[in-house]
Amino acid sequence: MLKVLKGLTLGGALLAASALMATTGQAGDSGTVLVTGANRGIGLEFARQYAAKGYKVIATARKPAEATELNALAKVDKDIVVEALDVTDLAAIDALAAKYKGQAIDILINNAGITGSPEKQRFGTIDYASFDDVMNTNVRGPLKITEAFTEHLAMSKQKKVMVVTSSEGSIAGVTSNRQPFYRGSKAAVNMVMKNVSYALKDRGISIALINPGPVDTDMMAAARGRMPLRTTELAVKELSAIMETLTVEKTATFFNFDGAPLPW
Ligand SMILES: NC(=O)c1ccc[n+]([C@@H]2O[C@H](COP(=O)([O-])OP(=O)(O)OC[C@H]3O[C@@H](n4cnc5c(N)ncnc54)[C@H](OP(=O)(O)O)[C@@H]3O)[C@@H](O)[C@H]2O)c1
C-alpha cells in the first residue's frame, strides 16, 4: 500500500487508500450473521469462519463469562461481538432483538441444541422435565428467535435462516428406540420451521434445515473412537456452502451436509 501511495498528494493518498480498502473489504462488508450456542462446537466454528469471511458476527452464548475460546477469538477479531443468550429464555430473546433493532441480519443460525441425557429418556422411567428442556431448547428456541429477528432478516440483503437440525429427526430413518427426546425435537423443529417458511416466503426470507452429520464435538464425545466423526471445520464449510446456494425457491428443504435432500 505504501508503494501505491508514495508520490501522491494527501488528498490523492486518502482517495487511493479508500479505493484500496474498498477492493480488499471491510469488517462486516459481507453482511451480519447471528449464531446461537457460539461458545463451543459447531457454533464456535461458525463464528470463526464467518468472521474470517468478512461478516460481522453476533455470537451468542448462554454464559459469556465462561466462553473462553469465543472471548479469545473476539479479542483478536473485532468483527465478533459476544452476547449473552439462553435460547429457552423468551424475554432474553426479545431483549436481544430490541437491542439490535435496525440492524440487518443476513444469516440467522439456530445452532444451540441439546440431546438430553439417555437415562432420562428411557421409556418406562421418562423424566418429563428433561423432555421439556430438550423441546424448549431445540424447538421453541429456533421458533422464537426466528420470530423475534424477522424484521432484522427482512431488512438484510441475504435474508436467510439456518436451523442446525439432524438426520435423527428423519422419521423415515427410525428403526430403533433411541434418544426419543432428541429425535422428537429435531422432527418437531423441522415441521415447525417448514410452517414458518410459508409465513416468511413472501418477505423473501428463506430457511434451510441442515443435518451436519456426525461431527467431533462435546455432543458426540461418547461416539469418539466408535464411529468416524468429521471436524467442525469441515462441517461448517459444508453448511455455509449450502447457505450460499439457498434461495426462496428452495426454502424449508431438509438438507444433508453434502447438499442432498433428506427424507422427512
Ligand atoms: N455434533 C454432531 O454430530 C451433531 C449432529 C447432528 C446435529 N447436531 C446439532 O448441531 C448443533 C450444535 O451441536 P454441537 O455438536 O456443536 O454440540 P455441543 O458441542 O454440545 O454445543 C452445543 C451448544 O449449544 C449451546 N446450548 C445448549 N443449550 C443452550 C441454551 N439453552 N441456550 C443457549 N445455548 C445453548 C451450548 O452452550 P453451553 O456451553 O452453555 O452448554 C453449546 O454452545 C445442535 O443443534 C445439535 O443438535 C450436531
d(CA 148, CA 98): 9
- Answer whether 219's CB lies under 8 Å from 41's CB: yes
The CATH code of the domain that includes 33 is: 3.40.50.720
Q: Decide if 1 is inside a domain.
A: no
Residue 205, amino acid: I
Domain, as residue range, for 87: 27-256
Pocket of ligand 1 (CB under 6 A): 36-37, 39-43, 62-63, 85-88, 111-114, 137, 164, 166, 211-212, 214-215, 217-220
List the grid coordinates of 158: 441475504
User: Has residue 261 been placed in a domain?
Assistant: no
Q: Is 22 among the domain residues? A: no
| Substitution candidate for ligand 1 out of 34, 45, 68, 111 with most atoms within 8 A of CB | 111
Q: How many CB atoms lie within 10 A of CB 176?
A: 5
Instruction: Tell me, yes or no, whether 207 lies in a domain.
Output: yes
Please give the sequence-ordered ranges of beta strands (E in DSSP) within 26-143, or none if there are none: 31-35, 55-61, 80-84, 107-110
Residue 182 CA, closest ligand 1 atom number: 47
Residue whose CA is at the smallest distance from ligand 1 atom 11? 111
Tell me, what's the pLDDT at 87?
A: 99
Instruction: Specify if 18 maps to a domain.
Output: no
CB atoms inside a 10 Å sphere around CB 245: 10
Write out the E strands in the chain.
31-35, 55-61, 80-84, 107-110, 160-164, 206-211, 253-256
pLDDT in tens, the chain (264 residues): 333 333 333 334 333 333 333 333 455 689 999 999 999 999 999 999 999 999 999 999 999 999 999 999 999 999 999 999 999 999 999 999 999 999 999 999 999 999 999 999 999 999 999 999 999 999 999 999 999 999 999 999 999 999 999 999 999 999 999 999 999 999 999 999 999 999 999 999 999 999 999 999 999 999 999 999 999 999 999 999 999 999 999 999 999 999 999 999
Q: What is the dihedral of CA 172, 177, 178, 180, to 10 degrees?
A: 80
pLDDT for residue 221: 96
State which H helix or E strand residue 92 sits in.
helix 90-99
In a domain, 154, yes or no: yes
- What pLDDT does residue 29 have? 80
Q: Is 182 a catalytic residue?
A: yes
Closest CA to 168 of 43, 256, 260: 256
Question: At a CB cut-off of 8 Å and minimum separation 6, what does 139 contact?
Answer: 185, 188, 189, 192
pLDDT at 26: 54
**pLDDT of amino acid 218:** 97
Global confidence as pTM: 0.92
Q: Considering the domain boundaries, does residue 118 fall inside one?
A: yes
Domains identified in the chain, total number: 1
Residue 11 included in any domain? no
Q: pLDDT, tens digit, for every residue of 157-215? A: 999 999 999 999 999 999 999 999 999 999 999 999 999 999 999 999 999 999 999 99
